[in-house]
Amino acid sequence: VSLKGRSCLTLKDFSSDEIKKLLWVSADLKHQIKHGKQYLPLLQGKAIAMIFEKRSTRTRMSTETGFALLGGHPCFLTSQDIHLGVNESCTDTARVLSGLCDIVLARVYSHSTLEELDREASIPIINGLSELYHPIQILADFLTLQEHYGSLSGLTVSWIGDGNNVLHSFMMTAAKLGVHLKVATPKGYEPDKGVTEEAQRLSKQHGTQLVLTSDPMEAAHGSNVLVTDTWVSMGQEEEKKRRLKDFHGYQITMQTGNVAKPNWTFLHCLPRKMEEVDDQVFYSSRSLVFPEAENRKWTIMGLMVSLLTDYTPQIFMPKF
């Protein structure tokens, strides 16, 4: 499986084998660099443009430090530096950056911005987050679960929260890894209809279970992994009061975990608010949120190496 030259706007575009390859490369880099203390300048002489319309701790730190650790040069561009589609069109920006760097990671409000960049650029484009998908978060989540459980196939993941971009990426990925997905969202906050239809098709194709409900306890029942995310994303601040009311009863607590499997764990992509999950769960031994955050670095490194080189992992492929 070679991914060199590809873009990554959504894991919808990647096959089961391709996603496993990305996770394998990520696990390999983590093993060699973190545990083996090796220096692997796989991206020496290369540069990445990091376009951030929306701020982020994990996406910026993981990408910037990861690219540098691999010998490359990261360039961080905020809306103060580059106004996509405002003082220069996306088309022109894509073509200019194609001549100045080797790859672009863009964290944007609109997924259509990424699609235009990808259409006009001659270099790979990575989705650092859009309103529709957050693929680099899901790679970190599945690497974390693989490390914890030893394999992914047969696990049940329960999403309890908003039908947002992170959930959409779970829905485009879980079935391809043999993972069952149970989703609880309040009425009116369901995932995108088109994403749901594709997820149902994938579930049928790969023989996994996909459950959609508005009952958090139904979703949590018999699950290995409980997952939630912010209820109020950037740009939704004016809706906060209504959203907090609509999501009443969706906080993940030990009571939620009581109906899950005995070995249940908890994930959250961060930043976290108390109304989403209480301290008892968040800071418990069941919580994998901090290894999950660290794995943002190893998986974005694995993705960048895969899109820019023909690197072959040195460790045996983990069990997925």
| 319 occurs within a structural domain | no
Residue 1 lies in a domain: no
Amino acid (1-letter code) at residue 131: E
Mean pLDDT taken over the chain: 96
Are residue 161 and residue 259 in the same domain, yes or no?
A: yes
The 10s digit of each residue's pLDDT in 262-318 is: 999 999 999 999 999 999 999 999 999 999 999 999 999 999 999 999 999 999 999
Per-residue pLDDT, 80: 85
Arithmetic mean of pLDDT, 72-93: 89
Q: State whether residue 44 is helix, strand or coil.
A: coil
Catalytic residue among 8, 90, 101, 269: 269
Contact (Cβ atoms closer than 8 angstroms) between residue 281 and residue 255? no
Q: Look at residue 320 and tell me if it is in a domain.
A: no
Residues 257 and 300 in one domain: no
Same domain, 169 and 237: yes
Q: What is the pLDDT of residue 313?
A: 97
**Average pLDDT of 87-115?**
96
Residues 32 and 83 in one domain: yes
- CA-wise closest residue to 130 among 209, 59, 231, 212: 59
Mark whether 155 and 301 lie in a shared domain: no
Question: What is the structure's pLDDT at 87?
Answer: 81
Confidence at residue 210, expressed as pLDDT on a 0 to 100 scale:
98
Q: Which residues contact 152 (CB under 8 A, 6 or more apart)?
A: 142, 145, 146, 177, 178, 179, 320
Q: What is the domain extent for residue 47?
A: 16-134+296-308
Domain assignment present for residue 206? The answer is yes
Q: Judge if 100 and 171 occupy the same domain.
A: no
Omega prior to 271 cis, within 30 of 0: yes
Considering only CA atoms, which of 166, 168, 185 is closest in space to residue 270?
166
Residues 63 and 165 in one domain: no
pLDDT at 211: 98
Decide: 242 and 213 in contact? Cβ < 8 Å: no
Burial (0-12, 13-18, 19+ Cβ within 10 Å), 110? middle
Span 40-59, average pLDDT: 96
CA atoms within a 13 Å half-sphere pointing along the CA-CB vector of 25: 27
- What is the structure's pLDDT at 72? 98
In a domain? residue 289: yes
Both structure tokens of 240: 């906060």
Give yes or no: residues 220 and 73 share one domain. no
**Do 29 and 126 fall into the same domain?**
yes
297 class by beta-carbon count within 10 Å (0-12 exposed, 13-18 middle, 19+ buried): buried
**pLDDT band at residue 197 using 50, 70 and 90 as cut-offs:** very high
In a domain, 40, yes or no: yes
Whether 199 and 275 share a structural domain: yes
Residue 233, token pair as written in the block: 């994303």
End-to-end Cα separation, the chain, in angstroms? 16
Number of domains comprising the chain: 2
**Helices marked H in the chain:** 16-29, 58-69, 90-100, 111-120, 135-149, 165-171, 193-206, 216-220, 240-246, 254-257, 279-282, 289-308
Range 154-179 average pLDDT: 98
DSSP string, 151-162: --TT-EEEEES-
Residue 10 counted as domain residue: no
- For residue 255, is pLDDT > 80? yes
Residue with tokens 């970190």: 140
The label of the residue with tokens 């575009």 reads 13
Asked whether 31 and 189 are in contact (CB, 8 A), the reply is no
- Packed helices 289-308 and 135-149: angle between N→C axes, nearest 10 degrees: 120
Q: Does 241 score more than 90 pLDDT? A: no
Does 11 reside within a domain?
no
What is the pLDDT confidence band of residue 232, given thresholds at 50, 70 and 90? confident
Backbone dihedral region of 270: left (phi > 0), alpha (psi from -120 to 50 degrees) or beta? left
Check if 8 is active-site.
no
**CATH at 176:** 3.40.50.1370
20 and 110 together in one domain: yes
Pair 149, 285 in one domain: yes
